[in-house]
Amino acid sequence: MRELEADLLLAPRPALWSELIEVHMESGRFARAQVAARRWRHAGGSGEALHLESCAAMGAFFGGGVREDGQLAWELGQRAVKAMPRDPRPLETLIALSGRVGAHAERCTLLAKLLELRPGQPESEAAFRESTQQSASAPEFAQALLECTRRGVLDVDPSEDQVAGHSQPARKGSVRGLLKNIARQEGVHCATYHQGGTALVQGLTGPAADRTARAFRESAHKTRELAARVGLGRLDSLCVEGTHGSLLTSAGRLGMATVWCEHEPTDELTSQLTHIAQQLGGKS
């Protein structure tokens, strides 16, 4: 972290800003992520800085339920949509946020815009149909936000795991079941998911699970730092092959999933891992 900050002072560039903010969000430090994104925005950052600041504010809202965080995430997300009209990610952030507070009419409108950018997506189409059914009596975002913070409860949408999760923290239950399915496959030693300071491990138990999860997280973080330093951009995936098997890591905006197997990961296994990290955990 200190090295990233030092590099930013010497030669600030978008990849380093993005890396710093992502590391903070992965570790659950959403307030620090917001500060870093705001610094980038004030230093002339593009719509990407707005988008990441919106993601960080939403992470803080989902974690603490403070209305001001939710409102800030909404406002920044709308500005990011205007700044990046052809980029689906700000829309997906707002879709996740509106769904969790119960603003289904606005979620429906956002899903329609997303389908214009990415037509033919079955998950988005299903979510759009569901939101349409719920939108008739749904309050506007400001009122929905106020009501859900008064109740202290966020809505849980059954389809939330399938769509609009690009910046939404993944629910542990859904991730755990998918990891378990991966770990049961022939030749797979274990599968893990990291989000903030939390690690879910399937296939190993006890101290071995702790050691393995920590090693996976450290290897991904070191690779992320290297990718940012040499200008490769954001880490999407990492594959390591050795005499005793292969490691595959898929990184999302808020979390990352890793599998350790005896063989080279199949296309199906790669797809499953990518879904966990980038759809449930938040792809950029």
pLDDT tens digits for 180-204? 889 989 899 999 988 655 678 888 8
Tokens of 203: 């296939």
C-alpha dist (Å) from residue 38 to 31, 75, 223: 11, 14, 25
Which is higher by pLDDT, 105 or 219?
A: 105
Q: Which residue shows structure tokens 């905006």?
A: 253
Tokens of 245: 């098997």
Q: What global pTM score does this model have? A: 0.61
CA–CA separation, 205 vs 190, rounded Å? 10
DSSP-derived pairing of the beta strands 255-261 and 237-242: unpaired
pLDDT tens digits for 194-240? 865 567 888 888 778 878 888 888 888 788 778 777 777 777 888 89
Q: Find the angle CA(89)-CA(94)-CA(97) to the nearest 5 degrees.
A: 125
Give me the architecture of the 172-280 domain, per CATH: 2-Layer Sandwich (3.30)
DSSP 198: E
Secondary structure of residue 11 in the 3-state scheme: coil
C-alpha dist (Å) from residue 66 to 37, 164, 197, 279: 19, 21, 21, 25
DSSP-derived pairing of the beta strands 198-202 and 237-242: unpaired
Q: Does domain 2-159 have CATH number 1.10.240.10?
A: no
Residue ranges of domains in the chain? 2-159, 172-280
149: Cβ contacts below 8 Å, ≥ 6 apart: 65, 66, 67, 70
Alpha carbon 158 to its chain centroid, in Å, reads 18
